[in-house]
Amino acid sequence: MLSRILVIIGSVRPNRICPVIAEWVASVGREILPAEFEIVDLRDWPLPMDVEPSIPATGDYRTDLTKAWSEKIAGGDAVVFVSPQYNWGYPAALKNALDHLYREWAGKPAMIVTYGGHGGGKCAAQLHQVLSGLKMKPVETMPGFTLSRARIEANAGKVDPVTEFAEGRSTLERAFGELGRS
Ligand SMILES: Cc1cc2nc3c(=O)[nH]c(=O)nc-3n(C[C@H](O)[C@H](O)[C@H](O)COP(=O)(O)O)c2cc1C
């Protein structure tokens, strides 16, 4: 049984909408699974790209921040990734956070939630491939939420998932169901 689920906020930029979406995703998850949900904001984890000399799969971490990141991810039973689509992929900050570790991800059930002008399906596909490379177990259903052009152009850091993503909520519930059974 999954008792602790980490929900990772994949965007770190100013004006981001990811935190609101991640909070909503976690709230839906809490309704469906009897687990503790913890939001993990990558903005709180400014992991440098150029300081760890060893290959992460060795677990030979030199910096306190990488060691703390390792403990944070090791402490979760499953991970929900909430990510915007950036240029058909996912944010560099998320790739960097993934690449800092290896064993901590391996074997964990995962869920991919994306958003973008067309739901972020291309981002989801890329993330699915990388998580599989990390030996995670992504659930089949990958909810993708569509942002209107006006919402993207406003870039105001605001979105109301409860009303704007209402149609896709059942997909999110299905994905959480799969996560709970994994
Ligand atoms: C660098 C960058 C690249 C983007 N590329 C895409 C894209 O390929 N497809 C898409 O639908 N939206 C794209 N967008 C628009 C985002 O979906 C939109 O800005 C969204 O709010 C980003 O999530 P965030 O605010 O949480 O960072 C892009 C935005 C940024 C900042």
> What pLDDT is recorded for position 93?
98
CA angle at residue 99 from 155 to 105, to 5 degrees?
100
CATH C-level class of 4-181: alpha beta
Interatomic CA distance for residues 182 and 139, integer angstroms: 8
Nearest ligand 1 atom to the CA of 151 is: 21
Helix (H) or strand (E) holding 60: none
Interatomic CA distance for residues 61 and 182, integer angstroms: 30
User: Which of 86, 94, 152, 153 for a ligand 1 pocket mutation test, highest count of atoms within 8 Å of Cβ?
Assistant: 86
Taking the complete model, does pTM exceed 0.85, yes or no?
Answer: yes
Cβ 18 under 6 angstroms from ligand 1: yes
pLDDT tens-digit readout, 110-147: 999 999 999 999 999 999 999 999 999 999 999 999 99
Give the residue carrying structure tokens 């913890």. Answer: 38
Q: What are phi and psi of 41, to 5 degrees?
A: -95, 115
Cβ 86 under 6 angstroms from ligand 1: yes
> What pLDDT is recorded for position 149?
92
Return the SS3 of 41.
strand
Nearest ligand 1 atom to the CA of 91 is: 1
Residue nearest to atom 31 of ligand 1 (CA): 86
Q: Please say whether the dihedral angle defined by the alpha carbons of residues 122, 87, 66 and 133, taken in this order, is positive or negative.
A: positive
Question: What is the amino acid identity at position 68?
Answer: A
pLDDT tens-digit readout, 66-79: 999 999 999 999 99
Q: Spell out the domain ranges in the chain.
A: 4-181
Distance 41 CA to ligand 1 centre (A): 18
Q: Indicate the length of the chain as a whole number.
A: 182
Mean pLDDT rounded to a whole number for the chain: 97
